[in-house]
Amino acid sequence: MSLDELSRNELIDIIKRYQNYFQNGGVDLDVFTQLDLIEKMKFTEERFRLVFYTSPDSININRAHDGLYIDVNEGFTNLTGYSRFDVLGKTSIEIDIWCDLKDRDRLRELIKKNGKVTNYKAKFRMKDGSIRVGLMSAIIIEINNEPHIISITKDIHSTVKMEERLRKHQEKLNQINKLEAMSEMAGNIGHEFKNYITIMRSAIEIMKMENKLEDDLIETVFKYIDKANNLSKDLIHIKAQYDAIIDSDRIDPISAIIELKPIFQNLSKNAKIQYNLMSKSEIEIDKKMLEKILINLLLNAVDATPNGNIDIITEDVLLSSPIDISSKKEYVRIIIKDDGCGISENDLQKIFDPFFTNKKNGSGLGLTIVHRLVTQNSGYIEVDSKYGEGTSFCIDFPVKSTN
């Protein structure tokens, strides 16, 4: 059997069998009931040898209490540049393979607590001094009644570098998009202020020609002065969000929503708010920003259905990574859903654009601010709506890592 025929789960299973062999003095009745002792020893040793010596991944066996290398495979020597002679009889600290000894200590804590570790990401120092990133899985085995750690490390350095290049490329794209958005915003602002000034100028000219003050004309002037003032405030607020230093907190979304219930109730007018809070995880986010997101979305829902129903939902979800669809990450999903007028398909494409609004007194900046705050905190926001049936805003925030 070649190594390619062994799945990762089979590989781990073989290691566990190897462990059982040593723990039980060569007797493992659950796995080898039909085989005699000699066949069991031969089968176990051959399978383990096949995995250990032919795996392209780095595999090493270390004494648990001090990290002394007992054996390493060719995958280890190919990856690190160390020969077996370089490392056998020495500890991981002596060869200085850990870039950060805190990673080593954390790994030992997890193994001591759980008996195993899966996909532990850390940086390692190679013999030539270069740094590579590895994904390590490890379990405890007993050899001669002494605990040892057998670990398999997959070199993911190229993947990490690719992710870094993609991140930098995305940052450049974001900067380009930001400049384009600023250009479009500047045009929109100029257009809006030009309209306000034209209306106010016309009203003042009429009063000048007629040489008298008309209450309705004066009211018009004040109305558009207020509009211009409110627009200025919204623009200052957006600028503040772009420049803000994020003070991330470890937040339980359910607690945050419960704290906001009195405010929600005050803003809801005659709408009925129903809560279905099921998430169990915490997220890392600036608390004030989360509050602004939720309040803005609730106001949006109330405007859509002042006498209808609004649902606020939280739940834990697993989502695929945009870089590797086979990789799943934990998120907390927050949904704010209404049964109001809905949004047309055409308008749905524009709702996060600056100054886009169908509301009589809206500035068109509320959802722009929400989108910015969500992405600023590493989240995603999507909207689903059917005209005449209602709208659902769905936000996903990554779960706070426990590592």
Per residue in 75-94, pLDDT (tens digit) is 999 999 999 999 999 999 99
Query: At 139, is the secondary structure helix, strand, or coil?
Result: strand
Residue 20: per-residue pLDDT: 54
Residue 175: per-residue pLDDT: 59
Q: Which of 26-40, 103-117, 224-238, 240-254 has the highest mean pLDDT?
A: 103-117
Q: Is 90 exceeded by the pLDDT of residue 97?
A: yes
- DSSP secondary structure string for all residues of 293-340: HHHHHHHHHHHH-TTSEEEEEEEEEEEE-SS-TT-EEEEEEEEEEE-S
Radius of gyration of the chain (CA): 31
CA–CA distance, 58 with 358 (Å, rounded to integer): 60
CA–CA distance, 296 with 58 (Å, rounded to integer): 51
Give the confidence band of 34 by pLDDT, cuts at 50, 70, 90.
very low
CA–CA distance, 359 with 189 (Å, rounded to integer): 18
> Higher confidence at residue 207 or residue 301?
301
Q: Of all helices (H) and strands (E), which one includes residue 276?
A: strand 272-277
Q: Mean pLDDT, to the nearest integer, of 21-48?
A: 50
Query: DSSP code of 384?
Result: E
Domain ranges across the chain: 3-160, 164-242, 244-403
Question: In terms of Cα–Cα distance, which of 204, 209, 246 is closest to 222?
Answer: 204
Q: What is the pLDDT of residues 327-361, one digit of tens each?
A: 678 999 999 999 998 988 888 888 887 767 776 66
Q: Mean pLDDT, to the nearest integer, of 43-52?
A: 66
- In DSSP terms, which residues pair with 72 in a beta bridge? 60
Q: What is the pLDDT of residues 250-259, one digit of tens each?
A: 889 999 999 9
Give the confidence band of 33 by pLDDT, cuts at 50, 70, 90.
very low
Provide the H-helix boundaries in 68-214: 74-80, 84-87, 101-114, 157-210
C-alpha angle 172-291-168 in degrees, rounded to nearest 5? 10
Q: Is 70 exceeded by the pLDDT of residue 235?
A: no
Residue 297: per-residue pLDDT: 93
Select from 1.10.1140.10, 3.30.565.10, 1.10.10.10, 3.20.20.150 the CATH code of 244-403: 3.30.565.10
What integer best gives the mean pLDDT of the chain? 78
CATH superfamily of this structure's domain 3-160: PAS domain (3.30.450.20)
Give the amino acid at 169.
H
Residue 28: per-residue pLDDT: 46
Q: What is the pLDDT of residues 100-154, one digit of tens each?
A: 999 999 988 888 888 888 889 999 999 998 889 899 999 888 888 888 999 999 8
CA–CA distance, 59 with 77 (Å, rounded to integer): 9
C-alpha angle 297-299-301 in degrees, rounded to nearest 5? 70
Residue 108: per-residue pLDDT: 87
Residue 349: per-residue pLDDT: 81
Q: What is the pLDDT of residues 164-195, one digit of tens each?
A: 777 777 776 665 566 566 656 656 665 666 66
Q: Is 90 exceeded by the pLDDT of residue 243?
A: no
Q: Mean pLDDT, to the nearest integer, of 14-20?
A: 54
